[in-house]
Amino acid sequence: MPRITQHTEARVTDRKRMVNADIFFSESAVCDIIAHADKGASENAEVMGLLAGRVHRDEKGTYAVVERTVTSGLLSDAVSVRFDHSDMGTLFDALDDLDFEYVIVGWYHSHLGIGCFMSDTDAATHGSAFSDDTGFALVIDPIREELKVFKSSKDGPKEASMVIMDDHTQMA
Ligand SMILES: [Zn+2]
């Protein structure tokens, strides 16, 4: 995965969260991830993509809001996935097409029937792209119908609390 420089340059804005969670997802972003993972599963392949949104801060610390996801061509099989470096133009075009001021707050990928956890490879990938404490990794297993989010910590990725926002509620 390419190093995500925009992330560390994130402009953090003050906004009090309504409930205490580490990360909030728009309903449409989660639907896109589920559809992508289902399509991958039908081809017996893992999928991945990036989580675009914003980082906010309140008295409890920082938290992220994911508005949209982006992806590109992938090199994947049933147990691994990575971006196809020959297709990075698609990824950057998708980022350019986002019509709001975003930062990359994390990434997602799927597991096929083995449950949601961060493997050693996943943790290494995460650490190379997100070195500070506001990078998130969503893992979805479309076969077991499970979904979990992990956040960076000194001891490696640990499970984070997430909230899915109804697209009609004004939160972000
Ligand atoms: Zn994994």
Cα(11)–Cα(54) distance, integer angstroms = 8
Give residue 129's pLDDT.
85
CA dist., res. 66 & res. 49, Å (int) = 12
For 76-118, how does the pLDDT look when each residue is reduced to its tens digit (9 = 90+)? 999 999 999 899 899 999 999 998 888 999 999 999 999 999 9
Average pLDDT over residues 1-16: 65
Over residues 145-163, mean pLDDT: 92
Q: What is the CATH number of domain 19-165?
A: 3.40.140.10
The mean pLDDT of 139-145, rounded to a whole number, is: 98
First to last CA, the chain: 27
Residue 58 alpha carbon to ligand 1 centre in Å: 31
**Range list of β-strands (E), 80-128:** 81-83, 103-110
DSSP characters over 55-74: EEEETTEEEEEEEEEE---E
The Å distance, Cα 97 to ligand 1 centre, comes to 27
* pTM of structure: 0.89
pLDDT of residue 4: 56
Separation of CA 19 and ligand 1 centre (Å):
28
Q: Could you tell me the two tokens for 139? A: 């893992």
Bridge partners (DSSP) of residue 104 are 52
Q: Tell me, what's the pLDDT at 30? A: 97
The rounded Å distance from CA 111 to ligand 1 centre is 6
Q: Which residues of 145-162 are buried (b: 16+ CB within 10 A; e: fewer)?
A: eebbbbbbeeeebeebeb
Strands (E), the chain: 13-14, 23-26, 48-58, 61-70, 74-76, 81-83, 103-110, 136-141, 146-151, 158-160, 162-165
Ranges of each domain in the chain: 19-165
| CA 139 – ligand 1 centroid, Å | 7
